[in-house]
Copies of this chain bind each other. A is one copy, B any other.
């Protein structure tokens, strides 16, 4: 305990007081001067402690008045609603989402947007650019010939070995030779879908679902069947089981079992096991996208659905895009019983990835520095997500609903009174605030009164002002 810096012990002292209610919301905390006197610490220690409490979202500075306990209105945010179990499924349909998403991207790019709550990535400062740069430089110095030699098949052996080792942590025992390095998770999803389905086939997806997956289905001429998904425990395996009886051309189900995009939910282990068993029995492929799995607040990695796979019926896809380096476009997959078809498709679609980035990431992911980075990133995202959630509680109108995920960087917010999130998106954008309207997360138009807010950036007082503005826009909308 004594190993902690003095300022941190001081901050913890007041943290406990705030959490226990000894210091109430909106109450002034002792001034920096009185902290110096009372605790016999230096001015800089007292200041550091206050800044720590501020960055943890416990206190806030008011100009010329000192620090105050931040007001807590969390009761104002209602929990997210569960999907109605009796709701009939929307029919499986060809996806028509690309124009909507393109329009969204084009509009975002037309406006200068200092406040980005749309991009599902942490801000660049949260990723280890310098360490990766150094690893790239080392790889370039040691093996410049990588730039001019034929690329090794399936991906760099070192990276595949590191990923196989890390896969043990989520319950998967993978042969490195089953691992294919891809251009991000998006290419992995393309290859997985092409391996198991043909144009015209139906694919079951979560609802709401990441719009990028809908675009992939659209581009491949596949039909989407949206399965009700709980904001608490993910896709309804019951609903999927029913759907399998009525949809004979259903070839696969795509799930994001851990910190789903946009819901942030995690499937409980028993549901993962049920899903794996059901799909194995019915000979329907499971395509698992575990892009967010490592971003768990508590550092306890949740198992993959593939951990319950006994026959190669689960294709596992993941990415280093959200965790490590959005600019390096590295993803990977293990194709299960479709491994050789996946390898063929990867070769025919884009050939193996260029080796340099792989060599650098293999070095970094094999080191303790990666674990330290991940721990920092998890804390950072947790803190930011908490602050944005609090701001929603503080500034959004009563009746707003939301569940608070325990990982990832996303919040899925249901606006009260069926306000149009498309309209709110436009109004907010005009104020320099990017959000992601719910209409992009389904082929059905079912989520027109939802917003996805990404919490990837440092929560500054300017961000707080932006959230206040956003809250006012939502409150004023009809």
Q: Complex Cα distance A132/B144, Å?
A: 8
Contact of A183 among B119, B144, B327, B351 (CB under 8 A): B351
B327 touches A187 (CB 8 A): no
Contact of A329 among B127, B151, B327 (CB under 8 A): B151
A355 CB-CB contact with B under 8 Å: yes
A350 touches B148 (CB 8 A): no
Instruction: Count copies of this chain in the complex.
Output: 2
A198 CB-CB contact with B under 8 Å: yes
Please give the number of chain A residues whose Cβ is less than 8 angstroms from any Cβ of chain B in the complex: 58
| A 143-183 to B, binary, CB cutoff 8 A, 1 in contact else 0 | 01111111101000000000000000000000000000011
Residue of B nearest to A152 (CB): B327
Residue of B nearest to A130 (CB): B144
- Judged by DSSP, the binding face of A is helix
Residue of B nearest to A354 (CB): B329
A190 touches B147 (CB 8 A): no
Q: Complex Cα distance A228/B190, Å?
A: 34
Q: Complex Cα distance A287/B212, Å?
A: 28
Of the listed residues A121, A215, A218, A347, the one surrounded by the most CB atoms of chain B closer than 10 A to its CB is A347
Contact of A129 with B151 at beta-carbon distance under 8 Å, contacts A354-B327, A354-B329, A357-B354 already known: no
A465 CB-CB contact with B under 8 Å: no
Contact of A190 among B124, B141, B149, B350 (CB under 8 A): B350
A147 touches B327 (CB 8 A): yes
Residue of B nearest to A343 (CB): B102
A149 touches B326 (CB 8 A): yes
Q: Complex Cα distance A105/B343, Å?
A: 13
A366 proximity list for chain B (CB < 8 A):
none
A148 proximity list for chain B (CB < 8 A):
124, 127-129, 132, 325-327
Q: Which 9 pairs between the two chains have the least Cβ-Cβ distance?
A: A127-B148, A219-B348, A183-B350, A133-B144, A329-B354, A187-B350, A124-B148, A129-B148, A147-B327
